Amino acid sequence: MKPRRRTSIRRRLLWLSTLVSLLTLGVAGGLFMVHDLGMLRRQMVRDLEVLSAVVGDSCLGALAFDVPETAEKILMNLRHEYQIRQAILYEATGQPFARYQRDPEPAPDAPRLNDAGVLVDVSVFGLGTVEVRRDLILDDQILGQIVIQARTDELAAQLRRYTRIAVLLLLATLAVSLTLAWRLQRRIADPIQRLAARTREISVAGNYAPRPALPEADDELTDLYLGFNAMLDQIERREQDLERIRASLEQRVAERTRDLDILVREQRLMLEALPLGVLHLVERRVVRINPRVTELFGWSTSEILGSSVAPFYADPADFAEVGRLGYAHMSAGDVYRTDRLLRRKDGSCFWGRLIGQAIDPSDERLGSLWILDDIDLDKALERRLQQALDERSQQLRAANRELRQANDRLRRLAMEVSLIEEREKRRLAGELHDSPMQKLNLAQMQIASAARRRDSESDRLLEVGQELMREALQELRTLQFELSPPVLYQGGLGAALRWFARYTTGRFGLELDYVESSTLPAIDTDLAVVLFQSVRELVYNLIKHSGAGRGRIALLGDAESIQVSVDDDGRGFTPAALDGLTSGEAGYGLFGVRERLSLWGGALDIETKTQGARVTIRVPSTLRTRS
Amino acid sequence: MSPPRLNLGGWRLGALLMLLAGLVSAASAQTTAESETLLVGLKAAYVYKLTSFIDWPADEDRAFVIGVIGAPRVRERLDELEQAEKRRGDRPIRIQAYAGPADITPCEILFVGEAAADSLPAIVRHLAGRPTLLVGDIPGGAGRGLAIELFRKPDILRRAERLRLRIDPKALADRGLVVSAQLYEVAEVLP
């Protein structure tokens, strides 16, 4: 910037007063000149109008009686007017009728005639020419038109005179104005210059103490000096106040700076010790981070700062989605949380939890703060938990399935039990009908017959009846043993099985042996009942279906388990029969046996031998009660 | 072979010259007739224009009458003024033709044609003392009673004849008529 030229106020006042004087005079002279020239021009036009009227009227006769010589003679009278350049008389048809020219001049335009009246057409071409046109009318009939053109030399001469006078006036005014202003401005400019010099001293040295002396005259300058001195007083007081305020402010600034330093150090320590990554992003580029970020990603601080966060995402789609969703949340002032798979410098990935918030939602240029947490371990635990949950669910489904199957088996078992009971009832009913009932009926008839006869035959009949009743009683006792042998509750399982082997041999003709080990543990009564019923079912099946003539019941046991096996030398089991036993679709009562044993944790094994079969029952000896 | 010669005998040449003379005279007669017609119209127009340059002593309470005597063609052209309802001031212009001096009634202008040249003294006597402007085309009429005489004057520059005015100021003064100075400018004035 170009420095402004310094001009003293003294010189400015001088030039200003002079300029104002010259300007005033110039404007007044210009207005006067314009007015005078205008008036002169109007006077000239008016004279020409009168002249055109006089000459035109004089030419009316010549026009009316077609005497151009007379018209030209009249026009020649215009030669006495030196400013007239030319005059032309036109006929009504527009043809020139007579003409006067002082010098060869270009012809004016063709006449523009009116229908009636008098027209004065004045055209001013600058200061050079004035043209007046007048229609010549006789008895309301236009005979022609006269055109007079005149120079404006008089106007130009008058303008030159005015110009000379104006220049002389301006020079005189300039001289007088300069002289007067030079003398008068000292009274005004000198005190102002002294005041300005004092102001410069104050601004340079800053010393307000010396006050400038008052000027001699008692006027506005004195007021200015007094005001200046009062202003100095106020400035001094303000300066002192400002000094105090500045000292106070400096102290407060120092305190606040110290507090701020402490706060900054605390924040830095917190950020450095924080197990979370903290990032300050602007337009998705990293502006500031804490050391944890470098640990999480494996990039150095210099590599991260200024770069985009796009490489941090394992999937570019995540980068785009976080940009779309996250910044929509943050621009609304919300906190955005998301879990994303992130990528380290070495290419390995980890799960990170991102929490972002805009510093100022209304000004996105300030960027956003993001907190990054490594949740890889949480994710692994979550996965394992989910896996365990899945496995447990699978187990639960399997258990449910087994439970449903068990329920099915129980239902079949209950049906089987009902069938067994029904078969047992039928068998017992048949047993009771076939033998004890018949014998009791026969004994009743024998006794009744003996009572009627009352002779020697009566004694024989009574004996027969008594014998029949004893046999029936024996059979009823046997039947009672079969149903629930008392020896089972009194002598235990071994005694019951031994009795049952003997009974079977005697009853069904099957050579059934019984053996037992010497290390049998004590067997619970309920388990003993189950095992006895199972063995009885196996033996009855053997009798019904195997066609065997010999068999053996073996009771073995130790501290771990109890084992009962039934061997025979019959035809054994076919593979189809074995499959039926396994699925429970076949009969033989073996299915019910197996199911009852399973309630005790036991199992039933069937083994087909070269001749015959072996069915083995195993139950744990430690598990003696139903689970 | 020489071209055939035109053999103009004495009588043939005479007949041809007579034919050419006849044609020339016919054309000349036609031109003269047109000039006369224009001249008659110009005379009628001059008579009408004179009304604008002359002041009569007092306006009569009747039509402005222009009488014509001895100039029937001029009267015909002046009749056109009447038909056009021309006026002088507030007074309508009427054209009146007179057969002889005795028929003349009071009028403002009386045009006396060459045909009435002999009757001019009688006309002057008949109108003596009356404010009637006597105009005519009788050669030498101005000075013999006509106040304004219309006469033909050759224009050398334009190679044509122009109709000009000749004024007898004495005749005008005798009848109490005032003529505009402009009329004096364009007319010859008898001493």
Other Cβ atoms within 10 Å of B27 Cβ, number: 10
Q: Is A205 left (phi over 0), alpha (psi -120 to 50) or beta?
A: alpha
3-class SS shares of chain B: helix, strand, coil, % to 5: 40, 25, 30
A261: pLDDT strictly greater than 60: yes
Q: Is B185 in contact with A60 (Cβ distance < 8 A)?
A: no
Maximum mean pLDDT: which of A162-166, A601-605, B144-148: B144-148
Query: Is pLDDT at B101 greater than 60 in this prediction?
Result: yes
Given an 8 Å threshold on Cβ–Cβ distance, is B185 in contact with A138? no
Report the gap between the CA of A98 and the closest CA in chain B (Å).
Answer: 14
Q: Which of B49, B64, B158 has the most A C-beta neighbours within 10 Å, making it the best mutation to test the interface with A?
A: B49
**Cα separation, A199 vs A206, whole angstroms:** 10
Separation CA B49–CA B71 (nearest Å) = 18
Q: How far is A102 from chain B (nearest CA, A)?
A: 23
Predicted local distance difference test score (pLDDT) of residue A468: 83
Q: What is the pLDDT of residue A2?
A: 55
Of B123, B125, B127, B151, the C-alpha closest to B138 is: B151
Higher pLDDT, A322 or A595: A322
Least confident of A26-30, A470-474, B33-37, B92-96: B33-37
pLDDT value, residue A179? 83
A65 to B187: CB separation less than 8 angstroms, yes or no: yes
A58 min Cα distance to partner chain B (Å): 6
Do the Cβ atoms of A67 and B186 come within 8 Å?
A: yes
Could you read off the pLDDT of A384-398 as tens digits, one per residue?
A: 999 999 999 999 999
What pLDDT is recorded for position A160?
A: 82
Interface contact flag, A65 B180, Cβ < 8 Å: no
Q: Residue B139 pLDDT > 60, yes or no?
A: yes
In this prediction, residue A554 has a pLDDT band, given cuts at 50, 70 and 90, of: very high
- Read off the pLDDT of residues A300-359 as tens digits, 9 standing for 90 and up: 999 999 999 999 999 999 999 999 999 899 999 999 999 999 999 999 999 999 999 999
CB A31, CB A43: distance < 8 Å? no
Reference A624, options A578, A563, A561; nearest CA is A561
How far apart CA B165 and CA A481 sit, in angstroms, is 197
Q: Do A67 and B52 touch (CB under 8 A)?
A: no
B182: nearest CB among A58, A66, A73:
A58
Chain B residues closer than 8 Å to A58 by CB: 182, 185
Answer yes or no: is pLDDT of B75 > 90.
yes
The pLDDT value recorded for residue A26 is: 84
* Chain A residues within an 8 Å CB radius of B156: none
Question: What is the model's pTM?
Answer: 0.42
Chain A to chain B Cβ contacts (< 8 Å)? 40
Chain B contacts in chain A segment 69-98 (CB below 8 A): 70, 73-74
**Beta strand spans in A364-490 (E):** 368-374
A212 to chain B, any CB pair closer than 8 A? The answer is no
Task: Say whether pLDDT at A115 is over 50.
Answer: no
DSSP for A421-450 reads HHHHHHHHHHHHHHTHHHHHHHHHHHHHHH
Q: Does residue B175 contact residue B132 with C-beta atoms inside 8 Å?
A: yes
CA A44 to chain CA centroid, nearest Å: 90
What is the three-class DSSP state of B100?
coil
* CB-CB contact of A530 with A596 (8 Å): yes
> Judging by DSSP bridges, how do beta strands B187-189 and B64-69 pair with one another?
unpaired
CB A173 within 8 A of CB A23: no
Strand partners, A131: A123, A149
Nearest partner of A534 among A460, A602, A597, judged by Cα:
A597
- Which helix (H) or strand (E) segment holds residue A88: the answer is strand A84-91
Chain A residues inside the 8 Å CB shell of B49: 64-65, 138
Output phi, psi for A485, to 5 deg: -65, 125
Could you report the per-residue pLDDT of A200-216, keeping only the tens digit for each?
888 888 777 777 777 77
Chain A nearest-CA distance from B74, in A, is 17
**Model confidence band, residue A583 (pLDDT cutoffs 50, 70, 90):** low
Distances (CA, A) of A529 to A277, A501, A600, A627: 73, 16, 12, 17
Question: What does the block give as tokens for B156?
Answer: 């050398």
| Cα of A36 to nearest chain B Cα, Å | 38
Contacts of B51 in chain A (CB under 8 A): 139
Q: Does A117 touch chain B (CB under 8 A)?
A: no
